[in-house]
């Protein structure tokens, strides 16, 4: 069958390419990729063209190449003019021959004036220099002087600062605090909060930016108080790093991370009738918790001073013969020191049946849950920290002596006036410390004033 001549004439001609791969390898011979590529002859770059710039009797000649290239996306063809490097001058390109000739004119003038060093500056270098001159003009000082001072300051600062990572600084901080005898609760709090921090930031502390820490704190979804507590721990880490010169003196140190302003809630207290109901309920259903409940209500000890993770108030520190409770250094809250708290007459009556030579006064680890169960049994709303608030408020009302109460409670006078004290009458204060057990062997002692 004859083919259609129209179709035959319309078919495109075949394109044949021949690549010189060198001599054919003999059987068993291998050819490396480098040998294969070197066998292909590269097309030599064309000879550069020249531009002559005449200045007076001098003629300066500059060589350049004209190249064309195609944008792969738009398929547009562009032309560029590349000035050949010469005498330490960098390679430069221009998009038009006119622009290249103008640049050659500038270079020729500079060469005539002996400004060969300036020829090595690119357009970006020149712009940077001009900006530096503008900044130097503000203080009327030469650019060279300001640069020298900045370099010397940076070198001096780098020589003094020993860069350490966040985990390394935290390890030293905790060891230093323990060696100083800082409160165990403060050290544990630093350990807990900052260990979470170093898991996210393992690089040198001075490289951690404020914005990074803000974002990290935000993602923790903290309450306002927890935000402030974490910030306090971070500032303790920064202060320690500054003291040891692990960060530059001019480092911000998370200064832009501000604390939240907290609204101080109204401190709640129990009434004498309510504490009586709590104590009687504990005596009937939870007698093992009664000593701790009575000590918090009538001596004002903190939860952590009765029991924490490592220490607990021991019966050997409850001195009946001197009517004082010894809060040791290990038990006392950080920075408060040891103290002796008077045992009031009604507290002595509540504790007398439970007195032991030694052993922990509180044997339960979660005291808050234990007291909450007592309150639920007594059908009274459990109020956080209300026992200590009640002791301080009623004791201030009964004695009319805030400094004395501050010493007994392990607080400052200012803190009591700001956070604890409630306006109560002296009669209400006496009523609080008149809550006594109803056992027959105790009531006659109060009647005759032997425990007053």
Residues in a beta bridge with 58: 55
pLDDT range class, residue 429, cuts 50, 70, 90: very high
Q: Could you give the 3-state DSSP secondary structure of residue 70?
A: strand
Give the tens place of pLDDT for each residue, 280-327. 999 999 999 999 999 999 999 998 888 876 678 999 999 999 999 999
Residue 284: closest CA among 364, 356, 378, 386 = 378
Reported as a single tens digit per residue, the pLDDT across 153-194 is: 766 655 567 889 999 999 999 999 989 877 777 888 999 999
Place of tokens 């956080």: 384
> What pLDDT score was predicted for residue 19?
56
- Contact between 59 and 69 under an 8 Å Cβ cutoff? The reply is no
Here the tokens at position 145 are 């002087």
Residue 255 to residue 373: CA distance in whole angstroms = 44
Mean pLDDT confidence for 96-101: 91
Q: Which pLDDT band, with edges at 50, 70 and 90, does 444 fall under?
A: very low
The percentage of the chain sitting over the pLDDT mark of 70, rounded to a whole number, equals 80
pLDDT digits (tens, 9 = 90+) for 318-375: 999 999 999 988 787 755 678 999 999 999 999 999 999 999 998 888 888 999 999 9
For the cut 60, the answer to whether the pLDDT of residue 138 exceeds it is yes
User: Which residues face 341 on adjacent strands?
Assistant: 325
Band (451; pLDDT cuts 50, 70, 90): very low
How would residue 37 be classed by pLDDT, with cut points 50, 70 and 90? very low
Collapsing DSSP to helix, strand or coil, 277 comes out as helix
Place of tokens 């019966």: 315
- In terms of residues, how long is the chain? 452
User: What torsion, rounded to 10 degrees, do the Cα atoms 380, 417, 404, 368 define?
Assistant: 30
Angle at which helix 224-243 crosses helix 184-200, to 10 degrees, equals 90
Mean pLDDT throughout 272-276?
96
Q: Which range has the top average pLDDT, 66-70, 180-184, 235-239? A: 235-239
Question: pLDDT value at position 249?
Answer: 76
**Among the listed residues 353, 364, 347, 360, the one whose alpha carbon sits nearest the alpha carbon of residue 315:** 360
Rounded mean pLDDT of the chain?
A: 82
CA distance 226 to 208: 21
For the segment 19-33, the average pLDDT, to the nearest whole number, is: 55
Report, as an integer, the average pLDDT of 32-43.
49
Most confident of 152-161, 211-220, 266-275: 211-220
Of residues 321, 338, 317, 270, the one with CA closest to residue 298: 270
Whether the pLDDT of residue 124 is over 80: the answer is no
Q: What is the phi/psi pair of residue 44, to 5°?
A: -65, 150
Of residues 70 and 125, more confidence is placed in 70
Rounded CA separation 85/120 (Å): 10
- Over 60: is that where the pLDDT of 443 sits? no
Q: Which residues in 248-406 belong to E strands, given as ranges?
A: 318-319, 324-327, 339-342
Q: What is the structure's pLDDT at 98?
A: 92
HSE at residue 233, side-chain half, CA atoms within 13 A, is 24
Distances (CA, A) of 390 to 2, 168, 182: 116, 44, 29
* Average pLDDT, integer, range 46-71: 87
Query: Which two tokens mark 252?
Result: 């911000």
Grouping H, G, I as helix, E, B as strand and the rest as coil, residue 62 is strand
Task: List, in order of start, the domains of the chain with CATH numbers.
Answer: 49-120 (no CATH), 166-243 (1.10.150), 272-447 (1.10.443)
pLDDT surpassing 90 at residue 201? yes
Q: How confident is the model at residue 400 (pLDDT cuts 50, 70, 90)?
A: very high
Rounded-to-integer distance, Cα 282 and Cα 291, Å: 9
Q: What region, left, alpha or beta, does residue 421 occupy, with left being phi > 0 and alpha being psi -120 to 50 degrees? A: beta
């Amino acid at each position: 069958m004859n083919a259609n001549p129209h179709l035959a004439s319309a078919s495109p001609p075949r394109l044949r390419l021949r690549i010189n791969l060198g001599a054919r390898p003999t059987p068993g011979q291998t050819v490396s990729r480098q040998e294969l590529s070197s066998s292909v002859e590269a097309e030599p770059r064309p000879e550069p063209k020249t531009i002559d710039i005449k200045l007076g009797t001098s003629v300066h000649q500059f060589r350049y190449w004209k190249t064309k290239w195609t944008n792969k996306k738009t398929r547009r063809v562009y032309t560029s003019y590349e000035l050949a490097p010469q005498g330490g001058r960098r390679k430069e390109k221009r998009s038009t021959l006119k622009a290249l000739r103008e640049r050659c004119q500038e270079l020729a003038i500079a060469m005539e004036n002996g400004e060969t060093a300036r020829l090595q500056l690119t357009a970006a270098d020149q712009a940077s220099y001009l900006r530096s001159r503008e900044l130097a003009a503000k203080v009327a000082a030469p650019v060279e002087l300001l640069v020298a001072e900045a370099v010397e300051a940076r070198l001096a600062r780098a020589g003094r600062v020993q860069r350490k990572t966040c985990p390394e600084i935290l390890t030293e901080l905790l060891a230093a605090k323990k060696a100083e005898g800082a409160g165990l609760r403060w050290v544990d709090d630093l350990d807990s909060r900052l260990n979470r921090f170093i898991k996210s930031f393992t690089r040198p502390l001075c490289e951690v930016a404020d914005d990074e820490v803000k974002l990290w704190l935000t993602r923790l979804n903290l309450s306002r108080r927890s935000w402030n507590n974490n910030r306090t721990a971070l500032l303790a880490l920064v202060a320690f790093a500054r003291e040891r010169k692990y960060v530059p003196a001019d480092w911000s140190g998370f200064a832009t991370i501000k604390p939240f302003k907290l609204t101080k809630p109204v401190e709640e207290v129990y009434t004498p009738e309510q504490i009586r109901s709590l104590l009687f309920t504990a005596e009937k259903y939870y007698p093992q918790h009664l000593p701790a409940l009575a000590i918090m209500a009538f001596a004002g000890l903190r939860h952590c001073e009765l029991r924490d993770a490592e220490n607990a108030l021991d019966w050997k520190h409850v001195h009946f013969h001197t009517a004082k409770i010894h809060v040791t250094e290990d038990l006392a809250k950080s920075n408060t020191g040891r103290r002796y708290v008077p045992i009031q007459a009604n507290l002595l009556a509540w504790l007398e049946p439970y007195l032991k030579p030694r052993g922990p006064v509180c044997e339960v680890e979660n005291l808050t849950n234990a007291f909450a169960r007592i309150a639920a049994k007594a059908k009274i709303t459990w109020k956080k920290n209300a026992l200590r608030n009640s002791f301080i408020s009623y004791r201030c009302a009964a004695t009319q002596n805030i400094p004395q109460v501050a010493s007994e409670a392990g607080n400052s006078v200012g803190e009591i006036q700001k956070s604890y004290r409630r306006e109560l009458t002296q009669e209400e204060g006496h009523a609080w410390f008149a809550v006594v057990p109803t056992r027959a062997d105790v009531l006659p002692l109060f009647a005759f004033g032997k425990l007053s």
